[in-house]
Structure 1
Amino acid sequence: MAKRLGELLVEAGLVSAQAIEKALQHQKVVGHRLGDCLVELNLVSEPALLRLLAGTLGTRYVTADKMAKARIAPEVLDLVPVRMAEAHHVLPLTADFERKALSVVMAEPQNAALLKELAEVTGLPEVVAYVGSRAAIATAIRKHYYSDAAAFSPAAAPAVERPIASPLPSKREGPTGTATVEAVAVPG
């Protein structure tokens, strides 16, 4: 990204310059990423932040609700070792073996080194990354890798964001029976 996150948030009207300064001071104390600090201080909602990030990166935001409803084939989950998924907050969604492409939802889709590592580990050189919250991805990992059917229940995952009404993205079965993710463009 050419512009820094704080600049993008101010330009989008999501936060004020003073809010960025407050978050930067908090960041010095806790050592978290700026976006996490803004959310922790309730200066911006996590869905709004992630939608902005997705729009900036030219990708889409996958809500916790969409991850909860996703049906991910076991062979797709097998491509990314669970420890890697947990350590890097990444969940494989689909694999197209003919095109040699993998789609994932990640907390940091701008992480080029991780995208390269995913391509190497899976043997699929094209990795399409969508944006998701760390909490939702962690919960989705519990559901999909550990078969925890209650992972997304309110009692089991109170920290998972509850998305505002959004058409992004919807899941359906693809023409070959593989799970696909379709979405509309994120306004930027």
Structure 2
Amino acid sequence: MKNVAELFTLPVTESAYSYADYMLLMEKVVAENRTTGPNQSDDLSYYTKLNLARMQRLNKKVTISEELKEMVGQISVPQTWYILTEAWCGDAAQNIPVLAAAALSNPSITVKLLLRDENPELMDAYLTNGGRSIPKLIAVDHEFNELFTWGPRPAGAQELMLQQKANPAKSLKEFVEDIQRWYIADKTESVQKEMVEILEGVFAEK
């Protein structure tokens, strides 16, 4: 278990959003026809609007499996699940509501969201294949000992991403549609199974 307190400085922790406040931020940037982060474009604003609708739908409809509920329920150590994200990120919109619903069922877990581009040092400590891929979940205890990480997407979606990078035959729009179809078919099962496996590993180490 490594201590990552140097990454979670006061400016970082003070910039974190509760899940409810992050949803309000999403609503605000959509109302202003923009997104989070320094890069602004019509496409990113469009994807942000879609993401807000997806998150609102999942907030109402996501069902956490009994297996994941049981694993989360066994957590007794107070901890914070920090999630690096941005409003324009489609993978974040598909996965964060699931992670939040699972975590918020246990009062020992606090969920906090951090904007990736406002926290480059933290993001750069958790790169995926050298890239600043999000969402990225970093679970820490009250002393900022790293408990586990997850992200940026379930293995099946990650494989689609790697295939696209290796052979970018499809346009960004076509690829986004492919990923969306994958998530619709998956019905949040993969992220939930992966979280069960991670938590099983955490408990096995004790």
The two structures have a TM-score, normalised by structure 1, of: 0.28
The two structures have a TM-score, normalised by structure 2, of: 0.26
Structure richer in helix, relative to its length: 2
